[in-house]
Amino acid sequence: MPHGPLRGVTVLDCATLFAGPLAATILGDFGAEVIKVEHPRNPDPARTHGPAKDGVGLWWKMLGRNKHTVTADFSRPGGAALLRRMAAEADVLIENFRPGTLERWGLGPDVLHAANPRLVIARVTGFGQFGPYARRPGFGTLAESMSGFAAMTGEPEGPPTLPPFGLADGVAALTLAGAVQTALYHRDVHHGPGQVVDLAIIEPLLTLLGPQATAYDQLGVLPVRTGNRSTNNAPRNTYRTRDGRWLAVSTSAQSIAERVMTLVGHPEVTREPWFATGAGRAEHADLLDDHVGRWIAERDAAEVVAAFEKAEAACAPVYDIRDVFADAQYRALDSITSVQDDELGAIRMQNVLFRLSRTPGAIRWTGRAPGADNEAMFTERFGCTAEELSALREEGAI
């Protein structure tokens, strides 16, 4: 990938378990040289999370793609010196140690910036670098709980519901990748120094929840669980077809709502005064859901989707991953792409996040074994001698 837009940017991925590493993956997909730095005896636990084939972790194959892998124990003098050496030549360092840990090892931002004033230090933790919770262990599940997401997710009479995947970590990773590029833009375009990015995982998901904060501030309104319905418009739900498939319908736009109700044989509701606003329709969700649900229940999924498409109304099947693999649109976009892996041969995984017309991203290789690039990186990239590497091994620093 000679023309990746982030070519020339060196990223030290010193983080573990999802938010930080996924941000580094995104940067690597678009040309950054990413060096994954792991503890020599306790590598990133993400390697053993999720399903495995023949003892090979499959999640890591995606999360570790486009990354060189090296090992270093920063708590040992040799490992700390090695990080300072790498940081002196890097553009970005991503870490998720508890606040104060790097400082305890003599690797705080003041030290790293003394070695490299241009370094962008991205610190991602559960609760941020300061405040009463800063030193607590923090994971995405806690962010999904504390942000208000779980409180508004689930059926009205059911419990708060957590997502079955790392939603908060994923949102934080996307945010962190953007934050890093923002800091690099400031450094390179406005000729500023490097700086520290402080990202608390509890915050990005809070932003995605929309106007909740302002609505509570101004109106005292608390969100409630509405299942698959929306408090902003209707009909909006999942509906079961005659052949047992589930379909999702959305009517955020007024014109779409009118088309849907005309399609299902109830144009009369579109003339009601309350139908003219999303909030008005949401107040009559029982009536609208009944009309739409009955019409869909009398037809097979393919017939319903075809009718909605002809009517230019919004409808989509509820997919599992088998359906994603088979879907014509996903296949046209190459959203699930095939990559060659040294251990497993050809494997399929999610492609890069977006397409650039002139400088596209690419998956160059899949996740490597811990320390696979120790020799090449430490000697060829960072100038260590064979004697220095031998000493670091003897110390247990790599």
In the prediction, which pLDDT does 191 show?
97
For the stretch 176-204, what's the b/e string if a residue is b when 16 or more beta carbons lie within 10 angstroms of its beta carbon?
bbebbbebbeebeeeeeebbbbbbbbbbb
121 in Cβ contact with 196 (< 8 Å): yes
Average pLDDT over residues 221-234: 92
> How confident is the model over 354-383, as pLDDT tens digits?
999 999 999 999 999 999 999 999 999 999
Nearest to 116 by CA among 78, 74, 86, 87: 87
Q: How far apart are CA 49 and CA 40, in angstroms?
A: 18
Name the pLDDT band for 138 (thresholds 50, 70, 90). Answer: confident
> How confident is the model over 158-210, as pLDDT tens digits?
999 999 999 999 999 999 999 999 999 999 999 999 999 999 999 999 999 98
Selecting among 91, 169, 289, 373, the annotated active-site residue is 169
Average pLDDT over residues 66-89: 97
Which parts of the chain are beta strand (E)?
10-13, 33-38, 52-53, 56-57, 67-71, 92-95, 120-125, 196-200, 237-240, 246-250, 314-317, 336-341, 345-350
Average pLDDT over residues 33-43: 97
User: Tokens for 209?
Assistant: 């929840």
Parallel/antiparallel/unpaired status of strands 314-317 and 246-250: antiparallel
In the prediction, which pLDDT does 95 show?
98
Say if pTM beats, i.e. exceeds, 0.75: yes
CATH 3.30.1540.10 domain locations along the chain: 237-325
What is the helix, strand, coil percentage profile of the chain, to 5? 40, 15, 45
The DSSP 8-state label assigned to residue 369 in this structure reads P
Residues whose CB falls within 8 Å of the CB of residue 293, separated by 6 or more in sequence, listed in order: 237, 239, 240
Q: How far apart are CA 94 and CA 21, in angstroms?
A: 8
Task: Answer yes or no: is pLDDT of 1 > 80.
Answer: no
Average pLDDT over residues 20-35: 98
Name the pLDDT band for 258 (thresholds 50, 70, 90). Answer: very high
Kindly report the average pLDDT of the chain as a whole number: 96
- CB 352: neighbour CB atoms within 10 A? 20
Provide the total of helices (H) and of strands (E) in the chain, helices listed first.
17, 13
In the prediction, which pLDDT does 369 show?
96
Helix (H) or strand (E) holding 208: helix 204-208
In the prediction, which pLDDT does 3 show?
67
99 or 2, which is more confident: 99
> How confident is the model over 264-314, as pLDDT tens digits?
999 999 999 999 999 999 999 999 999 999 999 999 999 999 999 999 999
In the prediction, which pLDDT does 2 show?
60
In the prediction, which pLDDT does 357 show?
93
CATH 3.40.50.10540 domain locations along the chain: 10-207+342-395
User: Tokens for 20?
Assistant: 């930080």
76 in Cβ contact with 395 (< 8 Å): yes
Nearest to 169 by CA among 66, 83, 45: 45
Q: What is the CATH number of domain 237-325?
A: 3.30.1540.10
93 in Cβ contact with 397 (< 8 Å): no
217 is an active site residue: no
Q: Is the dihedral of CA 305, 307, 312, 315 positive or negative?
A: negative
Average pLDDT over residues 392-397: 96
User: Tokens for 82?
Assistant: 């090695």
- CATH architecture for segment(s) 10-207+342-395: 3-Layer(aba) Sandwich (3.40)
Task: Answer yes or no: is pLDDT of 112 > 80.
Answer: yes
